[in-house]
């Protein structure tokens, strides 16, 4: 593996509600090298987005507790001052969210919105920032960039707005792009366009990318490695192909087979019984145990770490792992 760009250790996040602190995510460990593409997959309540937002401390600070370490090139993001954090956000690590209509300011035109981060992080002046904004629109393949740069968000289609968001994100040539469900609000054909764009940008700019999605298919087309999360924990980490060849965790297995198949006329779909436990009602031992077809007697009360599974894989389950060593 290349140099570690990002090293997340024992990340745990909880939120304050009027019923006290509620754990959202725990035991998150992963590393990311330069140029890596990591996919984080999970269903609602799995904690995938919470994890992503914590990397940049984007939660409301008053009501959030983040523990563990997020080492960005050796420095702990969780310990940075506000100023240092500001420096990091946007310039070294950038983010793209699901719904561009809520992340773009409706009263500013595209040039101003792209220019903002250029002015903040690179001290560019108006005219230079504008030129760069047009360049960036070209990069994200918005046709007729010199004219569209004066448009306001409502004049763009959903796909174009997401392209603008990506242009803003890559404006300062970040080392890492975190894309949180970037195509969920888009049509299938537009989704394919956006993913193609991200793929090209990653190659051209040499960025690392963390792609967060509920769609295992989408992630598998893009990422090299996948981290599957369930009920607030990573439960399997594996190279994409290996994961699909033999999912080691019964949940990953269930998730893969539950994707409706485009290649056969199945009349009954395989399902995972039950539903995801709420954060306050997570089982004590293995959190998937109550739904697991392979559960054994001690699954419900043994808390497992991620176990080494060979081939760069790790899994929080003993089903396919004989030599039970925790990942270092």
Partner 1 sequence: MTETIVSVRNLTRTFVQGGAGGKQLLKAVEDVSFDIRRGETLGLVGESGSGKSTIGKVLVGALPPSEGTVDLFGTRITPQSRDRAWKPLRHRVQFVFQDPHAALNPRMRVGQSIAEPLEVKGGMSRADRHARVEELMELVGLPPNFLDRFPHEFSGGQRQRIVIARALALNPDFVICDEAVASLDVSMQAQIINLLKDLQDRMGLSYLFIAHDLAVVRAASHRIAVLYAGQVVELAQRSDLYQRPLHPYTRALLDAVPRARKRQRPPVLGGEVPSLLNKPRGCNFSTRCPLATEHCRQVEPALREVEGRQVACHLV
Partner 2 sequence: MTDATHGVGAATPGPARVSTNSPMRLALRRLMRHRSFRVGLVMLLLIVLLAWAAPWITNGTPNATSVRVRFTPPSLDYPFGTDNFGRDLWTRVVYGARVSLWIGFTVALLSAFFGGIIGVCAAWFRRLDSLLMRIMDALMAFPAILLAIGVSAVLGPQLSSVIIALTSAYIPRCARMVRASALVIREQDYVEAARISGASSLRIILRHILPNCLAPLLVTLTFVFAYAILAEATLSFLGIGTPPPHASWGNIVAQGRDFAVEAWWIMLFPGLAISISALSINLMGDGLRDVLDPRLKIEG
Residues that bind partner 2 (CB under 8 A): 15, 17-18, 22, 24, 44-45, 47, 232, 273-279, 281, 290-291
Phi-psi label, residue 68: left if phi above 0, alpha if psi -120 to 50, beta otherwise: left
User: What's the half-sphere exposure (Cβ side, CA atoms, 13 Å) at 197?
Assistant: 25
Q: Does 189 bind partner 1 (CB under 8 A)?
A: yes
Q: Which is nearer to partner 2, 155 or 275 (CB)?
A: 275
Q: Which of 107, 266, 297, 328 binds partner 1 (CB under 8 A)?
A: 266
Q: Are 252 and 39 in contact (CB under 8 A)?
A: no
CA 309 to chain centre: 23
Q: Which does 284 bind (CB under 5 to 8 A by kind): partner 2, partner 1, none?
A: none
Count of residues in contact with partner 1, rule CB under 8 A: 43
Closest contact distance (angstroms) between CB of 61 and partner 2 is 15
Lay out the sheet containing 176-180: strands in order across. Answer: 93-96, 176-180, 208-213, 37-41, 225-230, 233-239, 313-315, 307-310
Q: Which is nearer to partner 1, 93 or 216 (CB)?
A: 216
Q: Which is nearer to partner 1, 131 or 141 (CB)?
A: 141
Sorted by sequence, the CB contacts under 8 Å of residue 155 that are 6+ apart come out as none
Q: What span, in angstroms and rounded, lies between the C-alpha atoms of 203 and 183?
A: 19
Closest contact distance (angstroms) between CB of 29 and partner 2 is 21
Q: Which is nearer to partner 1, 270 or 312 (CB)?
A: 270
Enumerate binding residues for partner 1 (CB under 8 A). Answer: 43-44, 157-159, 187-193, 195-196, 214-218, 220-221, 240-241, 244, 254-256, 258-263, 265-272, 275-276
């Amino acid at each position: 593996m290349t140099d570690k760009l990002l090293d997340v250790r024992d990340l745990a996040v909880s939120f304050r509600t009027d019923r006290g602190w509620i754990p959202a995510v725990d035991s998150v460990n992963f590393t990311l090298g330069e140029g890596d593409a990591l996919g984080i997959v999970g269903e609602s309540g799995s904690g995938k987005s919470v994890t992503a937002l914590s990397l940049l401390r984007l939660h409301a600070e008053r009501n959030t507790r983040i523990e563990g370490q997020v080492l960005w090139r050796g420095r702990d993001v969780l310990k940075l001052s506000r100023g240092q954090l500001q420096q990091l956000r946007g310039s070294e690590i950038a983010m793209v969210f699901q719904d561009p209509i809520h992340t773009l300011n409706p009263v500013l035109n595209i040039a101003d919105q792209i220019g903002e981060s250029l002015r903040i992080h690179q001290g560019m002046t108006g005219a230079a920032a504008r030129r760069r904004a047009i360049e960036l629109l070209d990069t994200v393949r918005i046709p007729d960039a010199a004219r569209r740069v004066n448009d306001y968000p409502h004049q763009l289609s959903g796909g174009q707005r997401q392209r603008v968001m990506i242009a803003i994100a890559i404006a300062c040539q970040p080392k890492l792009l975190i894309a949180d469900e970037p195509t969920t609000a888009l049509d299938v054909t537009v989704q394919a366009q956006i993913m193609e764009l991200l793929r090209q940008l990653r190659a051209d700019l040499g960025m690392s990318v963390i792609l967060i999605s509920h769609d295992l298919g989408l992630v598998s087309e893009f990422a090299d490695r996948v981290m599957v999360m369930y009920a607030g924990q990573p439960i399997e980490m594996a190279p994409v192909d290996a994961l699909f060849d033999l999912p080691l965790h019964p949940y990953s297995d269930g998730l893969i087979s539950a994707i409706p198949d485009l290649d056969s006329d199945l009349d009954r779909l395989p399902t995972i019984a039950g539903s995801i436990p709420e954060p306050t009602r997570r089982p004590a031992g293995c959190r998937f145990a109550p739904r697991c077809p392979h559960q054994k007697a001690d699954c419900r009360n043994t808390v497992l770490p991620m176990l080494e599974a060979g081939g760069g894989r790790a899994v929080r389950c003993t089903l396919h792992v004989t030599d039970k060593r925790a990942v270092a």
